[in-house]
Every structure is written in C-alpha cells, then in structure tokens.
Amino acid sequence: MNPADPSPLWIRGARVLDPASGRDEAKGDVFVRDGVFVERLTTAEQAKARVLEGKGLVVAPGFVDLNCRLGEPGRTARETVRTGTRAAAAGGFTTVVTMPDSLPAADNVGTIQLLREICARDAAVRVLPTGTLTKGHEGKALAPIGSLKKAGVVAVTDATSGVQNNEIMRRALEYAAMFDLVVLDHCQDSSMTDGGQMHEGAWSLRLGLRGLPRAAEEIVVSSDCLLAELTKARIHLQHLSSAGSAEIVRRAKARRLPVTAEVSGLHLLLSDAALKDYDTRLKLNPPLREEADRAALVAALVDGTLDAVCSDHSPCTATEKDCEFDQAPFGAASLETTFSAAYEAVVLSGAADLALLVARLTHGPAKALGLAAGTLRVGAAADLVLLDPKAKWTPSAKTLCSKSGNNPLNGRALTGRAVATFVGGHQVHGA
Amino acid sequence: MAKQDTWTKKDLTGIEELTRAEIELLFRQADRFLPALAPGKGLDLMKGRTVVNLFLEPSTRTRTAFEISAKKLGAEVVSINTTASSLVKGETLRDTALNIRAMGVDAIVMRHSSAGAARYLGEVLDISVVNAGDGAHEHPTQALLDAFTLRQRFGKVAGLKVTILGDILFSRVARSNILCLSKLGAEVTLAGPATLVPAALKEAFPQVRLAHDLKSALRDCDAVMLLRIQHERQTTTHFPSLGEYTSQFGLNAERAGWLKPKAVVMHPGPINRGVEVESEVADGPRSVILEQVRNGVAVRMAVLHLCTKALSR
C-alpha cells in the first residue's frame, strides 16, 4: 500500500452506518487522519482536509469478503492480484480472504510467502491468505498448519475439495484450534455429487444434467456441526445454498455450538430456473438452488443464522466458459456485483434494511474470523466505502475491473454501488 | 388448431422449442417423403448441399439414418466419428464447428455427450444444426419418428396413452418423447424402478404419470416404448443387476399379455434382447420397431429439408 499518508479526510453529511459500534446516523461525519478514524479534525486540519460531500450517500466500513480467488499464484489467465483487488475495491471490499486452491496449492510456507510478496507489490486492498487444511487439499494428511499460521494465514480450508473424511476433519479442527485458526469448510459429500452440474431438481431433470442434491451439502453441514460440538473448535461453513443447511445451522447456533456461516450474493439473488438456457456463467458450486431455498437464505441472513455475505469470487476465462455446459468450470467473478446483488435481494425486496446488510458485509465476516476489520471505530484503520444506494448501473465484462468476464450479472440492471473505497485512508476506488 | 405452412427454424435442437403446429407441419412433409424410401427412388431437393454428421458419441442407427436421409434428398454427406475427431486433441467444439462451417457446409447433424451442446452449436453457427442426441437432454428426431409411427398406426396421436418404460433418468429419448407426445395431446406414463424414475420427474414434467408397478403401467396403454438400459450412463447404484432389472421390468410374452389387444411395442434401438425385452415380443405382431426405423428416414429427410430451406429463405 502507498506508504505516504494522504491529507486528512472529512466525509460530511452522509448516512453513517457502523454496525460493529451500533452507529446509525441519518446525517453524520467521518474523519480520517494518518490512515485511521479519528473523533474529529482540528480546525487547521479541517482547512486542509479533503472533503467529500456525503449527501445521499452512505458511509460504511469497507466490506470484508471471506471467500474469493485472485488467480495467484498459477491462475493468472483468470485473474491477478492486481486486477482482482481492483475488482474488490470497486465492489466496496477492503479486506478479502483468499482460498488456497491456487497452483501450487497454498499448503506450504513458500506459497503463502509468494502470495504475500505479490500482494505487497500489487494489491489495492488487504489480502488475507488461507492455507489448506490437508496437503494438496487432497483430504489425506494434515497440512503444516502451525507453520502456515506463522506465515500469515488467517484460516485453513480445503476449499471446494471439502473434507470427505470425518476423522481428518475432527483432527484438523482440534489441531487448528491450538493455533486459534478457524476452519472453513465447503460442505459437500462428494460421493453424492460425482458428475453433478447443477442443483438436483425439476430443472436438472428437464435439462438432462446430473444434479448436486441438497442432501450432499446438508449431510456435511450436519457432520460439521456435530464435530464442532465434539471438538469445541471454531468452524465456518462456506457459501451455504439450501434452506435445509440454514435450518441445521440455526439449530446449531441455538445450542451455542461454535459455528458461523456465509452465503454468496448470487445465491441470495438467483435460483436454478436461471439455468434454463445452459448459461455456463451460472454454473456454480454449490449450485443455485430453488426459489424456496433462495428465500430461506435471505431469511437466514436477516435472522442472523448466516453471519456473512461473501463474494465467492471464482474467476474463469472466457474460453473456459465458452463450451458445453458439463465441460465448463464452476464459478463466477462476482466481487464487483456482490453488494448490488445482495442489496436487491435483501434491502430492495423489503426483507431488511441497509444497516443489516452492511453488518453482514462487515462486522459479521470480521467477527467470524476474528479479524480487526469492518468498523468505523475511532482508532481503527480507515477502511471505508461510500455507497450510493440509488445508483443504477449495468455491469459488463468490458467495464468491470476483473480480468474475467464470467459475471452472470453482466447485462443486468442493478441498483446500489460503491462510489468510493478507501483502505487505510488511501482511496483505492472512485473519482 | 390452425395449420402452419411455413417452417422458419434453421435448427432442430429440441422438441422443447417446437409448437404442435410445427410438429404437424413436419409430419406432413415426412408423409410426402415416404415414397422416396423405396429402393431406386431419390430426390434432388438438397442437390449441391453438404451435410456433416458430427458424431461425438457412438451411434450406428441414428448416424446411418441421417446419412441415408441426406442422400435420399440428393445432398453430399460427410461423417465424422469420435475417433476421427480433432476434439480428442483438445480442440473446442466452437473451433471444430467453425472449421467445418468454413469449408462451406449447409448443415451439421451432431450427437454429443453434453446436454445443451446442440443449442450451443446452433448459437455459434449460422448454418443448420440438427440435434442427433445431446447427453441426457433431447433426441428430437427419435421422438418425432416415434410420434409419426403412432400417428401412422392409430391415425392420430391425441388421446393415446403411451407408457415409456425403463431408464427415464438418463434418457434423452424419454425427455423428447414426453415433450413431443404431450404437445400432440397424448397421455404419458413413465415406468421403471424408482431410482431411474424418481418422483421429482413429476415436478419437472407435471403432465406425466409415474408408475413403479409394471402391470398398472401396461394395462391401459395404447403403446409401450421400451428404453435401452444404458450401461454406459448408469453408475452401479441405480439398480442391482441387469438380471434383477429383467425380472422386475423386462417385457416378456406373459407381461405383453397385460396390454390391450391393439397396443403396440416400440423401441428406439439398439435392443438388448433378453434384458428390457424378449425376442418373442420384439419380433412379435405388436412390434412396430422396424416401422420406427423406416419412418426415421422420412422424418429426418423432413427435418433436413425444412431446416436448410428455412436457412436459404
């Protein structure tokens, strides 16, 4: 990040939302000096401060994403730290947690150090790496989790490989807890999803595509909850997609099990009917499920069962997605549209107000991983986003920052977007 | 229903995209081609045109039928099979298709293991694309020839009761037939083991009836369509063994006796004799299997003719 601290910043007369501190002002000011939030600026500082008029805008902590891929190392045709973090900034994210299924996998100290070096050089936002849970995310032997922690990982996960063996998962939870690392799990019983292309249901039957049944996810959500109970270790369930998964987590939380969970913006907005024309951009893992699942996920986000909205940013090249449906890779490039997608699904739909959505994009994810991020509190790093909740825009592959064009919302009219993003007081997005 | 007299589609990718009027228009065209099936007869409606059969999955019957159909219309035919294909060398389907297109071809008939592949190709290319089977999605010409055969036998399809028996889950023939028969006003029953005829089919196709009891599925129907048990698509978990399948759902002479006197037995082929059907039934008086094959040529002639004509319009 830019070493020189910029002039003080004064955001004047915006709606201020900071769920972490309970701050919700219809019209307030936010001050930044030396890269951190301050109570106020002196008259002299105010005179030389950069002033941003906040009328009609919302100032919120920079968003925290717990689930994204930035292409490095090894997948630079899809994305780079440079392009991916600019996409993050454009989407209002100031902290992103990357998945370890890079090439090579982040199952060793060297790869983590390489990623950190690349980020020190190229990143526009804070990038927090994760390490794999098992070597090569193959689910057989534990990765050197203690060394990975020392190298700077904030969590461990086998990403979309998931963990298929309950004994490995149990020991991994116990071992990672010793280092105060949360285990992230992509919940999927792979014995039930072999060859699966989309949600198993009426649409998969009509389209003749093999399905990924809800139960494949819910079985692992259940076993993870049981293992959290056994080990008392922290587990965070990634991008849940079904109503049943949300209900299992709701019950686990009622029993005070150390479980948190997230949902992606696309899963809040879309359902499997959108796949009727074999649009490979919508081929996601976990898959988009039915309308009832979508509605249940929104409700679970609102009632706190789900702690966070993630981007699940998984860039793929245009060539990779330009093929037969069952040969296309899973994933969507979504960092830049996650807020708009969630805003439409949660706020414009009337399910909740913007303060709640901001909480699930900031305080919720930060707390799930114990990150010092996601707040406007005095003394905290000045990571913030200015949102225009009324902005109408239509994303396109040409105008988005991501190197990948596989954003399924390209061409769709969206509402709400980040107009400026600051990391440590430095502007990383917006005019 | 008003008669449609103009076909406007350059592609036939699925029955899903067709209206009842279009299906009936196609049947009237196929009627006119029936005399050309006689040996020594042929037409020159597609003289000077080239059809490429791009078969990326094994097929004998469908590929041959398409070849003969195109030749009966006077077209040149080139067939590409999986082993000869550059797709095994890693070329994308788009590139393969654009290369074939660049050589001045009028139509591509494609069989592909991926559901949705024909629709994809139809969007990529500005020449005619005919789906000869895309994964477990659709096999539209099979459904058309099946319905055409029923129409020939019973005079009309509307009001008929048709049971499709066997591997519905993995069958493109079943999907196309459900759509085609429903559009033409027939009542469809899907029958077979619960693992291959899952309850969710009722959500996907609300118009069908499901049956796991063979007798109830056969008793009232006017036609039973047997589907081949596809070893290559099933994982081992869908039924215990071919022997068990035969014992529960195989059509033998005794079970054929549950059918109404005038009910017919159909099969898209290739037949696994002794598995889904016994020879006595397959070769018996109820069988219209060879009529299906013969009609398949006329129907495919109609498809090729109408699609390429729509393109040149």
**pLDDT tens digits, one per residue of B93-105:** 999 999 999 999 9
Going by C-beta distance under 8 Å and a sequence separation of 6 or more, which residues neighbour residue B248? B193, B214
Q: Which of A202, A210, A322 sits opposite B204 (nearest CB)?
A: A202
CB pairs under 8 A between A and B: 66
Nearest CA in chain A to B202: A202
Residue A85 near residue A116, CB atoms below 8 Å: no
The token pair at A224 is: 């993870």
Same domain for B214 and B301, yes or no, is no
B115 vs A201: CB contact, 8 Å cut-off? Answer: no
Same domain for B283 and B156, yes or no, is yes
Second CATH level (architecture) for the domain A61-369: Alpha-Beta Barrel (3.20)
Same domain for B206 and B169, yes or no, is yes
Exposure string (b/e) for A5-22, b if CB count within 10 Å is 16 or more? ebebbbbbbbbbbbbbee
Work out the minimum CA distance from A176 to partner chain B, whole angstroms.
37
Going by C-beta distance under 8 Å and a sequence separation of 6 or more, which residues neighbour residue A193? A212, A213, A216
Q: Residue B232: its pLDDT value, please?
A: 59
Same domain for B287 and B158, yes or no, is yes
Q: How many domains does chain B fold into?
A: 2
Going by C-beta distance under 8 Å and a sequence separation of 6 or more, which residues neighbour residue A373? A61, A62, A64, A94, A95, A126, A362, A366, A381, A383
CATH number of the domain at B90, please: 3.40.50.1370
**pLDDT tens digits, one per residue of A205-226:** 999 999 999 999 999 999 999 9
B135 vs A322: CB contact, 8 Å cut-off? Answer: no
CB atoms near residue B87 (< 10 Å): 16
- For residue B262, being part of any structural domain is answered with yes
**pLDDT tens digits, one per residue of B37-58:** 999 999 999 999 999 999 998 8
A312 given a catalytic annotation: yes
In a 3-state reduction of DSSP, which class is residue A28? strand
B134 vs A208: CB contact, 8 Å cut-off? Answer: yes
Q: Which residues of A touch B175 (CB under 8 A)?
A: 206, 208
In a 3-state reduction of DSSP, which class is residue B216? helix
Q: Which residues of B touch A289 (CB under 8 A)?
A: none
- pLDDT above 70 coverage of chain A, percent: 99
**B112 phi, psi to nearest 5 deg:** -145, 150
Task: Determine the residue type at A30.
Answer: V
Nearest CA in chain A to B17: A277
CB atoms near residue A43 (< 10 Å): 7
**pLDDT tens digits, one per residue of B258-285:** 999 999 999 999 999 999 999 999 999 9
Alpha carbons B20 and B22: distance in angstroms, whole number: 5
Burial class (CB in 10 A: 0-12, 13-18, 19+), A395: buried
Same domain for B147 and B246, yes or no, is yes
Given a cut of 90, whether residue A182 has pLDDT beyond it is yes
pTM (2 d.p.): 0.95
**pLDDT tens digits, one per residue of A58-96:** 999 999 999 999 999 999 999 999 999 999 999 999 999
Work out the minimum CA distance from A78 to partner chain B, whole angstroms.
18
- pLDDT above 90 coverage of chain A, percent: 98
- Domain residues for the domain of B75 are 20-138+294-312
The single residue of A224, A272, A293, A312 carrying the catalytic annotation is A312
CATH topology for A9-58+382-429 is Urease, subunit C; domain 1 (2.30.40)
Residue A342 near residue A268, CB atoms below 8 Å: yes
